[in-house]
Chain A
Amino acid sequence: MFVFFCPHCGENREEEEFGYGGEAFIPRPSAPETLDDDAWGDYLFMRKNPKGWHWEMWSHNTGCRKFFVVKRNTATNAIAGSWTLSDGRKAYDAEGGAT
């Protein structure tokens, strides 16, 4: 059971208040019709599933109902931090978008 810091509420809260929102930063293609099936299939189905640091979304379901970004180590469950979606994007990009 994790404790997450919700950047919207400014609070540490128990995991049972949150829901997993999947891998972060998978933007929806702006013009889906221009993509071939492979590229569209990548967007639909392919996820990183790393052993190590993972940028993922969580939503504060029974709190503010906002999505935010968490950088979590899938092997150790260490949490490096949590950010709003836009701040998280900046932190992610500052790392070169790598895991």
Chain B
Amino acid sequence: MTSFRVRRPGARIDFEKPLSFSFDGQPYSGFAGDTLASALLANGVRMLARSFKYGRPRGIVGSGPEEPNALMQIETGAHTIPNLKATQVELYDGLTARRTTGYPTLEFDLKSIGGVFARFMPAGFYYKTFQNQKLWPKFEHIIRQAAGYGSAPAEPDPETYDHSHRHAQVLVVGGGASGLLAALAAGRAGLKVVLLDEQKECGGWLLSSPYSIIGGKAADAWLKIVIGELQSMPNVEVLTRTSAFALHDMNLVLAVEQLQDHLPLAERAVNRPRQRLHRIRAESVVLATGAIERPLVFGNNDVPGIMTASALTTYLNRYGVAVGKRVLLHTSNDHVYQGACDLIRAGCEVVLADARARVNPAWEKRARAAGVDLRLGYGISFARGGREVNGAQLVKLDAGQNVVTGTGPSIDCDALGSSGGLSPTVHLYCHDGGRPHWDEEKLAFVVPATGRAKSRIYCVGAVTGEFGLQQALEQTQRTIGDLLASLGKPTDTTSAVDVRTDEPQTVPPRRIFRIPDGKREGHGKKAFVDFQNDVSAADIHLAVRENYRSIEHIKRYTALGFGTDQGKLSNVNGFAIAADARGVSIPEVGTTTYRPAYSPVTFGTLAGLHADETFEPRRYSAMHACHVARGAEFEPVGQWLRPWYFPLPGEDMHAAVRRECLAARRGVGIMDASTLGKIDLRGKDVREFLGRVYANDWAKLAPGKCRYGLMLDENGMVMDDGVTACITDDHFVMTTTTGGAARVLSWLEKWHQTEWPDLDVYMTSVTDHWATAAIVGPKSREVLAKVCAGIDLSSSAFKFMDWREGTVAGIPARVFRISFSGELAFEVNVDANYGHYVWEALMDAGGEFGITPYGTETMHVLRAEKGFIIVGQDTDGSMTPLDLDMAWAVSMKKPFSFIGKRSFARSDTAGPNRKQLVGLLTEDPEIVLAEGAQIIERADTAPPVPMLGHVTSSYYSPELKRSIALAVVRDGINRRSEEGRKAGRNVLYAHAGGKAHKVRLVSPVFVDPKGERQNV
């Protein structure tokens, strides 16, 4: 507990506003402006995690999205959020945080005991151990629990999320010095500008650097002026707490805005979303995403209290927290010098070990003058300490080679910061295919300073490798000048800003990533590269020794960069160590692929309001309320919710379906058929068009007549079916399957537009315009007669497959005499607005005949009893009309070669032994086979067992008082023929529920094989 609060100029802490919070059940306090991380550090909490593989104590390493260790479970119950980085959680009063690692407890982690696991868990442990996949299930639970990480909420998310679509002329990502300057220039030029910054206020590193001077002004004052001007411009929008996490084709940037996460739960507005997804389409994108400091890799570099040097400086200057009293800094570059001076000014003792023997004279002078104890040409061999750092052993480094030339002093410290250089945040630039290039002088993967002009993506500041403040601002001015010039805008709007700073000119860093300890890799103290996944330098060497070459493979073998921090700290070190281990250059190793999302995004935000019913809208027929009132059970069919069956009190589904089936067969039933797709076709060539898209002939279908049609794809396979009615010579109404309506319309439109634009055909979907009630059964005519006017319903005047226009219950109606049950049946179509009324009128009219509403289940039984197919259930895209024994629905005489016809003659389609539709009867009439049951030759299921087909539909038939099934079986039509029966080829087995059931192949038409009932 050596950390202490300090008051710093420009710090973002309000010491007048104390806040209380809890961590792992312990109460703590912080101040407004703190992050959870800064508040924990101020309270002296060092160890707050256990590592993934070895259970080693871990503390806070970073100060932003790069944080690998401090993963927190925030809040409880339905509001709980797992794995938030403490460095990004704004502190609020009453915040509750829990650790996510450490098993069974943080203080005592099973994995840490004597390195029990450590010895056995080298890189590739999981691959090597669980190659035998049978072992995995046994160990998965233990390993996952021991590995830790947060828990997903178990309750439904009580919060809402929304989406916002934006269009910007210039989108600036990143509100640091360069991003602010870019937005200012574009804003002054009158462009519509959106500026995003992931933190709660703009400023970036300037917020951690109060002594920086821009144009003679202190950083804090400069920020106030620039942000003030931006906010005053009506054409500029500044979105803070907004993290751009993806850049897609054509400059579509996705960003998530945190609207309420920083507020105490009780203060969050229930009518306001928690987060908002911005989908921003930008004419030009300016990436000012900055850079993140990476640590140096040395022994025991994971002991709590060791962090990046910039994180130490940020906690000091921005949050007013000195992490330690005696600070040891270790660097290979210039970036830590200002921070070292700041720490001294805050009252710390500072030792700065620079790996370079000769350093920037300007910085050396300033540091020594401030009182920094400079040790040049030294590296840290290893750090000391268990649960917190207490010192480090230095070694003397060779001035040229990265080798140890001698021992060095042992330094006591209570905080340690290291800097291995800056790694530009190139992620967004790379999301749509860009690759960063390695700059050997700056030791960084950078994006081109010219950006990607063709895509209008511009890059400014540290992301391009301009790490000095003044150089970054000058480069920003040049680049934005180019952007404005390309739009014909005056370019003097940026040069008006004075960007001179008092920073010394930067000198090159030393090319060092892994500090040598004089030992062979793997023989010294563990030196971590990726903290979250416990990947050490030795692991990467091991992967290379085991012959992994591609960095993508090394990544997957070691888990380098796989954590929620996505390698923001570890990747460059990992690539460099892999390069050294392989003896090649860093560009030869390259980088892994940068993919969205840059930082984790919750599913709720991605879904926005497109959840539940607004994700997949539920469709209800106009008669829906009638069915609800009658106690129907419903089932979803595509987007539709259809009545499934109508149980009476005390009835189960089986009893209800039995009653409904018998009513339709013996008396009268009624079904809502509104959901069938309906397409209205008009034009003088519709008849010709139908002939081309259906297998059957439409030339002679007269007005007042209907016909069933099979629609094929060009491969000759059945893709849809339905009844089409001729209204007049140039007007037809087609029905499609419920699920196929949209697909069929698109299909027809495609053929019309791409192949036959000369045909005079107009198509409109009218599915929702009509409500349809099917009255089914021997008494259906009597029911209809009571309410129908203007139609002669006699069997001689209104034949099967006729349609007539009249009124039903006084409402204009089209009545089709068609049947999907094999019974006498009429389908009444009325304007959907009258659907409810007409259904009730038909129910009233049918009362005296015992009219029985039925749902989809009974419909299926009735149609299966007749062998009527359901496209998509009894067919699967590989069935021709001939396979379905439906040659009667194909006209080979039509002059035009209809879609699919030629394919009948393809060798495969015309070949023998195809799967064909048959009926199946089980030997035991009580057994209802499972749909999908495989059809096999013998009861004996010792392999190999050739599979001849499968059951497609299976029901209990109340009419036949036994089970029935439809199936597709190889050579099924021959098997069930007279000859097949004589040869005994019609007896097979259906394998279901672990048993082989003897079945007989029969005609699929089980009821009324001659089709007499529908004609009465």
Contact = CB atoms under 8 A, between A and B. Distances in A.
Interface stretch (B352-360, B746-754, B974-982): B746-754
Interface string B76-115: 0000000000000000000000000000000000000000
B433 interface: yes
Contacts of B249: 1-2, 77
A40 interface: yes
A57 B754 contact: yes
A27 B903 contact: no
A19 B906 contact: no
Given A2-B249, A61-B746, A85 B754 contact: yes
Contact of B901 (A2, A27, A32, A66): A32
Contacts of B252: 1
B749 A65 contact: yes
Given A28-B755, A59-B746, A40 B903 contact: yes
B897 interface: yes
Given A27-B755, A44-B714, A59 B897 contact: no
A19 B746 CA distance: 10
Nearest to B454: A78
A41 to B, nearest CB: 7
Given A44-B715, A57-B754, A76-B433, A32 B902 contact: yes
A28 B281 CA distance: 39
Contact of B897 (A1, A14, A21, A33): A33
A37 interface: yes
Nearest to A29: B902
Contact of A41 (B250, B750, B754, B906): B906
Nearest to B433: A76
Nearest to B908: A37
Interface residues of A, number: 26
B248 interface: yes
B726 to A, nearest CB: 25
A35 interface: yes
A67 B714 contact: no
Interface in B747-783: 749-750, 753-755, 757
B902 A85 contact: no
Given A19-B746, A59-B746, A35 B902 contact: yes
Nearest to B714: A44
Interface string A56-82: 010101000111000000001110000
Interface in A1-29: 1-3, 14, 19, 21, 27-28
B902 A67 contact: no
Most buried by B among A27, A33, A44, A61: A44
Nearest to A32: B902
Contacts of A27: 755
17 contacts: A2-B249, A3-B250, A28-B714, A28-B755, A33-B905, A35-B902, A40-B902, A40-B906, A44-B715, A57-B754, A59-B750, A61-B746, A66-B753, A67-B749, A67-B754, A77-B250, A85-B754
Given A2-B250, A27-B755, A67-B750, 11 more contacts: A1-B249, A2-B249, A3-B250, A31-B897, A37-B906, A41-B906, A44-B715, A59-B746, A59-B749, A59-B750, A77-B250
Interface of A: 1-3, 14, 19, 21, 27-28, 31-33, 35, 37, 40-41, 44, 57, 59, 61, 65-67, 76-78, 85
Interface of B: 248-250, 252, 281, 432-433, 454, 714-715, 746, 749-750, 753-755, 757, 897, 901-903, 905-907
